[in-house]
Amino acid sequence: MWVSDDAVGVGVLAAHRSPQLADAGLQAVLLQDRPGLERWWQEREFAPERMSDPDDHHVEPVLREFWSRVVPDPEEGEEGEEIIAPFGRDWPGLAVAGQSAGPDAVDPDTSDPDAPDPEVAACELADELIERGWLPAPRLALVPSHRGADVPTALGWGGPANYENDTALISVVLRSWEDRFGARLVALGFDELHLSVALPPPTTALALPVAAEHFALSPDNIWQGSGSIRSYAEEAVTGSGHWSFWWD
C-alpha cells in the first residue's frame, strides 16, 4: 500500500475516494497513530498471508459463531441475561436492511433513491472525526482492494487478533453492513476501526438486532463500554452515522 508521509486534514479522503481510483482497484482509507505505537503500519503489523478469502465465508454463520463465543454462561444468571436482553443465548439472526428500504427489505437496490450517498457520508464522517480530534493526525492510505470492506484482509490487519486471527471474517461482516446499511470503512487504528453509516436504524427497536451483531463482532464495545446490548443500541446505534469498534 501507499501511505502519506505526513498527517492529512479535512477534505483529503474525499479527494481520493474517486471512481477512478476505485476502478483501478485502490481504496482510500485513513490510518491513525496510537500513543506509543506511532506509525504502527511500519512495524510489521500486517500478515496478509495468514488471512483466508472473504469469498469463502457467509455472514450469518460467521456472526452466529461469534455470538456463541460471547453470550454469557448460564451460570452468570440474571446479570448475564441483562447483558444480552432482549435476546437469549440463541443467535437472534441478521438485522433487516436500512430502513429507507422498508421494514422487510434486504436488497439495497430497492432502497429509496433519495437515501444518503454512502461515499458522501464516508467523506463527511472522515472530516468530522478529524475536526473533533477522534483522528488527530491521520495518514492517507491507498490500499489495493476491490471494495472497502476487504481492506483489512488485503492488508492482513491484525487489530482484532486477540479475538479473531482471520481478518477475512471481519471483512465478511463489513461487506454485509455495506450492503444493508450503506456502511463504509473510513479509518483503521492499531486495534480500532471506524465506519460511516448512511442508513442507520432509526429506532431502538430496529437498532437492537444491529447491536447484537456489533456485540458478536466486537464484544468489548459492550463489556467495557455500554454494559448491555440495550444500552449500546440506544447510545451507539440508533440513528448513528458512525460505528466504531475496538478489540482489547
pLDDT single digits (tens) 48-86: 899 999 999 999 999 999 999 999 888 778 888 999 999
Q: Taking the model in full, what pTM does it have?
A: 0.91
Q: Is the pLDDT of residue 202 over 70?
A: yes
Query: What per-residue confidence (pLDDT) applies to 73?
Result: 84
What the block records as the C-alpha cell of 245 is 469498534
What SS3 class is residue 4? coil
Q: What would the mean pLDDT of 108-120 be, rounded to a whole number?
A: 72
**Beta-sheet pairing, 26-31 with 242-246:** unpaired
C-alpha cell at 168: 477475512
* Burial bucket for residue 172 (CB in 10 Å: 0-12, 13-18, 19+): buried
Residue 106 pairs with which residues in a beta bridge? none
Asked if the model's pLDDT at residue 198 lies above 70, the reply is yes
Dihedral of the alpha carbons of 216, 185, 193, 36, in degrees to the nearest 10: 160
Q: Higher model confidence: residue 44 or residue 141?
A: 141
